[in-house]
Amino acid sequence: MDWGLALSVTATGLTVVFAVLIILVLVVALFGKIMGSTTNRKVKTPVEEKQIETFVADSSEKLSMEVEDGISEEVVAAIAAAVAVMMSSDGKAYQLRSIKRTGKNRPAWSIAGIQDNTRPF
């Protein structure tokens, strides 16, 4: 076996592979710059400031909600406030009907799926 030929073939192969990789990186970077400049050309309309409405609940008005034992009123209020904030963009009023604890024997993949599907965008 000719060692000179083997070395030159190896060097040529490595040079070609890395040259093509560098060219691909440059093409992707150029494509990103082109697409970034086209999205920046869009006319941005001023964002309307949303008025935050506050509601005071009457203490005489009792809402029927099922709450499991062991869940404090503070936790219920925090959950209700979080739901109201997340859903306020629709302009509709939402009401919690029940709050229940989830099963503690969930597999790790199930918990990961729930976290993935419920995280904000």
Are residues 58 and 91 located together in one domain of the fold? yes
Phi, psi (degrees; rounded to nearest 5) at 18: -70, -35
Domain match, 33 and 57 both: no
Rounded to whole angstroms, what are the CA distances from 33 to 20, 26, 38, 51, 74? 20, 11, 9, 37, 49
β-bridge partners, 16: none
Which residue range forms the structural domain that includes residue 1? 1-42
**Could you tell me if residue 119 is inside a domain?**
no
Report if pTM > 0.85: no
> What confidence tens digit (pLDDT) does each residue in 10-56 have?
999 999 999 999 999 999 999 999 888 777 665 556 656 666 665 55
Q: How many domains does the chain have?
A: 2
Do 56 and 29 fall within a single domain?
no
3-state secondary structure 61-117: CCCCCEECCCCCHHHHHHHHHHHHHHHHHHCCCCCCCEECCCCCCCCHHHHHHHHHH
User: Within a domain: residue 116?
Assistant: no
- Confidence band, pLDDT 50/70/90 cuts, at residue 8: very high
Residues 56 and 89 in one domain: yes
Q: What is the pLDDT of residue 18?
A: 98
Q: Is 67 found in the same domain as 38?
A: no
